[in-house]
Amino acid sequence: MESSPDIIVAQATAPIPSGIGVLRISGRSMEGLVRSLTGKGYPAARQASLRSFYNRLGEVIDHGLILYFPAPHSYTGEDVVELHAHGSPVVLQELQVHCLQWGARLANPGEFTLRAYLNNKIDLNQAEAVADLIHADSSQAARSAALALSGRFSEVIHTLVSDLTTLRVRLESDFDFTDEEIPVFHEVSFRSSLNHILERLTRLVENSRQGALLREGKNIVLIGSPNVGKSSLLNALTEEDHALVTPIPGTTRDLIRGHMVLQGIPIHLVDTAGIRKTEDFVERAGIERTWSAVNKSDLALIVVDVRKGVTEDDRSLIGRLLPHQPKLIVANKIDLLSSEHDVVSELIHSIAGLLPVIPVSAQTGDGLEVLKIKMLSVMDINHNSDAPLLLARERHIATLVQALGHLREALMTFESEFIAEELRQAQLKLAQISGKEFAADDLLGEIFSRFCIGK
């Protein structure tokens, strides 16, 4: 895939009324377009200049700032012009239409960042970090995306590739100059160096898996009988009124989603239809969706009314859950207990060995902090939100694991030819992450198609 000489244009800000709206233009030989838009040529590089903006009829449609970033010192590596106008969608649309009529074309999603990649301003991992930063769900995710955008992840990969190159030179020099038909390699220092690289890559895989949580988050489903307070619990955990709460059983008939952040990890909560036998077609459809959501979740919160305890219906529901699926019992409505009844202790004792029980009140908030801690523990999330993580994608992790496999194979053989090939394959896999040595057009298309238009 090669960089296009076309001039592209798109709004770099959301198409809604706002204080400022930005129109971004990138390409070559754009001074004619700039003169048509503002009545003057390029302003001084990297300095804001106040200008009037004109339509194709020469009528003033706004006054604002223009910035000019000449190639190669720009975001895309091409000449880039930004028009900072008032954030009226009508004004920005008129400016964009003027550019299109002049001969520019509307940018494809992610095309500005794609051009930055093709012009060697950033590597593929940094390009993905741009999208991750835009869509970050937490401050920790944003910090990790910024770390990747600064090139930290790429530096780690580059160092591993460089160290593998050094090993290959040592190995293949021995192979080229030996008199043996099939050389055998026993050098202790070589294997020690290879094992050190393998250990570093293993730690990188673990860090990347933790970092992937910052992007993907965890899915938690709330299930239980009707009217046990699932919707109230969803609202309490997210601190928003996502779900309608009524005393009428069966009010929730479709999946209702809410979001929260725990230790920097995005948590996606799903409130579900109360599970019971019913002849109502709509309610049955909601219950079917409930089980579909349960099967896709990372944790099931079985919500029960603490006054009733774990009923036979609840036990039947628990029995339908997959054995390996993380699960907790949330004993809700403890605020409705009379002080002289220690029902919670009785409940916990009655189901000892079945599942952990967390008593809470969705109404007052009692027990919610304990529940949050237990949720992270059951899902085996021990992330310190202050620790830096590399924000990885599934393709990064899969590629790192494949590279790790090649290094392990290299350690298991003593034949230089086979070791050299495994090291080469490991290098190729690592190079795929940055895209410096390999990036198929279909992979690039998939990555950049998920960007917003103006990026």
CATH numbers and ranges of domains, the chain: 8-123 (3.30.1360.120), 136-213+393-434 (1.20.120.430), 220-379 (3.40.50.300)
Give the model's confidence band at 166: pLDDT under 50 very low, under 70 low, under 90 confident, else very high: confident
Two structure tokens written together for 342 = 């220690």
Q: What is the mean pLDDT of residues 405-413?
A: 92
Give the model's confidence band at 417: pLDDT under 50 very low, under 70 low, under 90 confident, else very high: confident
Q: What are phi and psi of 284, to 5 degrees?
A: -60, -40
Could you report the per-residue pLDDT of 183-220, keeping only the tens digit for each?
545 578 888 999 999 999 999 998 888 888 888 889 99
Q: Is the dihedral of CA 389, 393, 396, 401 positive or negative?
A: positive
Q: Which residue type occupies 373?
A: I
Indicate whether 439 pLDDT > 50: no
Q: What are phi and psi of 262, to 5 degrees?
A: -125, 120
Could you report the per-residue pLDDT of 100-124, keeping only the tens digit for each?
999 999 999 999 999 999 999 998 8
Give the model's confidence band at 182: pLDDT under 50 very low, under 70 low, under 90 confident, else very high: very low
C-alpha of 218 from chain center: 11
Indicate whether 257 pLDDT > 70: yes
Q: Average model confidence (pLDDT) for the chain? A: 83
Indicate whether 453 pLDDT > 50: yes
CA angle 242-245-249, nearest 5°?
A: 130
Please name the helix (run of DSSP H) or strand (run of DSSP E) that holds residue 327, with its range, or none. Answer: strand 327-332
CB atoms within 10 A of CB 104: 20
Q: Is the dihedral of CA 130, 132, 137, 140 positive or negative?
A: negative
Q: According to the model, what pLDDT value does residue 276 have? A: 53
pLDDT > 70 in the chain, percent: 80
Closest C-alpha to 355, from 382, 317, 381: 317
Tell me the range of 261-265, 391-395, 440-444 where mean pLDDT is highest.
261-265
Give the model's confidence band at 57: pLDDT under 50 very low, under 70 low, under 90 confident, else very high: confident
264: left (phi over 0), alpha (psi -120 to 50) or beta: left
Write b or e for each residue in 338-361: b if 16 or more Cβ atoms lie within 10 A of its Cβ, otherwise e. eeeeebbeebbeebeeebebbbbb
pLDDT > 90 in the chain, percent: 44
pTM of the model: 0.69
Indicate whether 46 pLDDT > 50: yes
Could you report the per-residue pLDDT of 343-365, keeping only the tens digit for each?
666 666 555 566 888 999 999 99
